[in-house]
Amino acid sequence: MGPCYRLTDVSFRYIRDWVLRDFSLEVTAGEVLGLIGPNGAGKSSLLKLMAGFLRPDQGRVILHGEDLVTLPPRKVARQVAVVPQESHVQFPFTVTELVLMGRFSHQEGWGWDSPEDLHIARSAMQAMDILPVANRTFQELSGGERQRTMIARALAQQPGILLLDEPTAFLDINHQLEIYAILRDLNGNRGVTVVLVSHDLNLAGQYCDRLVLLREGRVFRVGPPDQVLTAEHIREVYGCDVLIDRHPEAGTPRITLPTPVHRNSRQPILFPSSLCPRSGVSPGEGGSR
């Protein structure tokens, strides 16, 4: 299958410092691609550029052969759905209402939600296990329910491409597993291309076909998890040593953090003494002197 995204020499900055610099990448239709890298490497900005939320200062983002900048939002939304890292909903919209908004790009004008829209929204809520909270407002939901609502809304968009920013950040392990299973299912059975940002290198390594390791706004390595997730790469990009063995079932790289070693066993390095609470003095009293 051909590329669905082609980024050529993309540079982007918010104000002064470049967040992405001469960034080129092709996303193959039908793959699960993971974007990994330390904080500030440009992962989320990259996702927003692909979503059309941000415009590149240089270079081009091509979606299915068309420059993203020239495409009307409605047309983009029918192909690409985005699950943001965090969502704030100011007003008392219910879960059903929010998921139905995923149908926005498919609906014309003022109209009512069609039976088809309702059916699609319902299936999305079922897949995300949020039917029991369908009539609650967003404010009443737990972090995990909120995240699953956002994913359900993206599913209701029936996109060919799904962009997710830390989709499992607020979820317990059971729901983490469920999300990845659903992403795998969408990808395997319906050919949905998935691009996700993740800080969880293990899950990313286990479920992604390819990983892009970013460093300071550039591609450091791109390839299958086996080749990207090596101790040398991680040391070079993240600056820390890790232990790598194999996942007992999947055989993918498994990364474990080593036990922290203190240079001086009597004086822990993490806290200088000025930050440590003094014995016998409560924090309130300490400040009033």
Partner 1 sequence: MPALTVSRWSRVIVLFMAVSLVGAVVCLQFGSERIPLTEVTRILLDGGKGDAGESASGVNRSVIVLEVRLPRILLAFLVGASLAAVGVALQALLRNPLADPFILGVSSGAALGAILALQIGVGWAVAGFSPVQVFAFLGAGVTIITIYRVAVKNGQVPVHTLLLAGVIINAIFSALILFITSLADSTSAFRMFFWLMGNLTTLGYAGIGALAVSVAVGVGLLCGQARSLNVLALGEETARGLGLDVERVKRMIFFTSALVTGAVVAVSGLIGFVGMVIPHMLRMTLGADHRLLLPGAALVGGVSLMAADTAARSLLAPAELPVGVITALCGGPFFIYLLVRNRGAQIL
Which listed range, 49-57, 186-194, 259-267, 281-289, lies at the site for partner 1 (CB under 8 A)?
49-57
What's the token pair of residue 220? 């450091």
Q: Pick the binder of partner 1 from 36, 76, 186, 194 (CB under 8 A).
A: 76
What's the token pair of residue 38? 């330390």
134 lies in the site for partner 1, by CB under 8 A: yes
Q: How many of the chain's residues bind partner 1 (CB under 8 A)?
A: 45
What's the token pair of residue 48? 């927003």
Q: Pick the binder of partner 1 from 15, 39, 65, 91 (CB under 8 A).
A: 91
| 188-227 positions binding partner 1, by CB under 8 A | none
Min CB(139)–partner 1 separation in Å: 8
Residue 19 φ/ψ, nearest 5 degrees: -90, -40
Q: Left, alpha or beta for 68 (phi > 0: left; psi -120 to 50: alpha)?
A: alpha
199-214 as b/e: b if 16+ CB within 10 A: ebbbbbbbbbebbbbb
Min CB(51)–partner 1 separation in Å: 6
Q: Pick the binder of partner 1 from 43, 48, 146, 254 (CB under 8 A).
A: 48
Nearer to partner 1, 45 or 206 (CB): 45
Which listed range, 62-70, 111-119, 256-264, 274-282, lies at the site for partner 1 (CB under 8 A)?
111-119
Dihedral (Cα; 267, 272, 275, 280), 10-degree rounding? 30
**CA of 10: how far to CAs of 24, 41, 107, 218, 259, in Å?**
6, 14, 33, 10, 39
Cα(104)–Cα(123) distance, integer angstroms: 16
Which listed range, 18-26, 77-85, 177-185, 264-272, lies at the site for partner 1 (CB under 8 A)?
77-85
14 lies in the site for partner 1, by CB under 8 A: no
Contact criterion met (CB below 8 Å) for 125 and 94: no
Contact criterion met (CB below 8 Å) for 103 and 120: yes
123 lies in the site for partner 1, by CB under 8 A: no
Beta bridge partners of 276: none
Q: Pick the binder of partner 1 from 88, 263, 266, 289 (CB under 8 A).
A: 88
What's the token pair of residue 289? 């002197």
What's the token pair of residue 225? 């998890």
Which listed range, 30-38, 91-99, 187-195, 218-226, lies at the site for partner 1 (CB under 8 A)?
91-99
Q: Pick the binder of partner 1 from 9, 57, 67, 140 (CB under 8 A).
A: 140
185 lies in the site for partner 1, by CB under 8 A: no
Whole-angstrom distance between the N-terminal and C-terminal Cα of the chain?
Answer: 70
Nearer to partner 1, 22 or 97 (CB): 97
Nearer to partner 1, 92 or 268 (CB): 92
> Within a 10 A sphere around the Cβ of 139, how many other Cβ atoms?
12
Q: Pick the binder of partner 1 from 11, 28, 107, 202 (CB under 8 A).
A: 107
96 lies in the site for partner 1, by CB under 8 A: yes
Cα(37)–Cα(251) distance, integer angstroms: 22
Q: Which residues bind partner 1 (CB under 8 A)?
A: 48, 51-53, 72-78, 80-82, 84, 87-94, 96-98, 100-102, 104-105, 107, 109-113, 118, 121, 134-135, 137, 140, 153, 157
